[in-house]
With several copies, the nearest count.
Chain A
Amino acid sequence: MIRVQREEFDVGAEVARLTRGNHLIGGVACFVGIVRETAGGEAINAMTLEHYPGMTEAKLAEIEAEAGRRWPLEASLIIHRHGRLEPGEQIVLVITASAHRQAAFEACEFLVDWLKTKAPFWKLEETASGPRWVEAERQDDKAAAKWAGQGRDKAAE
Chain B
Amino acid sequence: MKILYFAWLKAKTGAGEEEVNPPDHVTDVQGLIDWLKERSPGHAQALADLSAIRVAVNQNYAGLDHPVKAGDEIALFPPVTGG
Binding site for B on A (CB under 8 A): 33, 49-52, 54-55, 58-59, 80, 91-92, 112, 115-124, 133-136, 140
Q: Tell me whether A54 and B82 are in contact in the complex, defined as CB-CB below 8 angstroms, given that A120-B6, A120-B77, A122-B77 are known contacts.
A: no
CB of B21 closer than 8 Å to a CB of A: no
CB neighbours (8 Å) of B7 from chain A are 50, 122, 124, 133
A102 to chain B, nearest CB (A): 12
Residues of B at under 8 Å CB distance from A? Answer: 4, 6-8, 56, 59-61, 75, 77-83
Residues of B within 8 A of A122 (CB): 6-7, 77-78, 80-82
Give the CA-CA distance A49 to B77 in the complex, in Å.
14
Bound-state CA distance A54–B60 (Å) is 11
How many A-B residue pairs have C-beta atoms within 8 angstroms? Tell me. 69
Task: For residue A81, give the distance in angstroms from its CB to the closest CB of chain B.
Answer: 10
Tell me the bound Cα distance from A80 to B75 in angstroms. 20
| CB of A126, distance to nearest CB on chain B (Å) | 15
A133: B residues at CB distance < 8 A: 7-8, 78, 81
Picked from A91, A112, A121, the residue with its CB within 8 Å of the CB of B80 is A121
* CA–CA, A116 and B82, complex, Å: 5
Asked, given contacts A52-B56, A52-B75, A54-B59, whether A120 binds B82 with beta carbons under 8 Å apart, the answer is: yes
Cβ-closest chain A residue relative to B58 = A55
**Contact, CB under 8 Å: A134 / B59:** no
Given A50-B7, A52-B4, the answer on whether A136 and B80 have CB atoms closer than 8 Å is yes
Q: In the complex, are the beta carbons of A92 and B4 less than 8 A apart?
A: no
Q: Which listed residue, A55, A80, A112, A134, touches B81 by the CB 8 Å rule? A: A134
B80 touches A119 (CB 8 A): yes
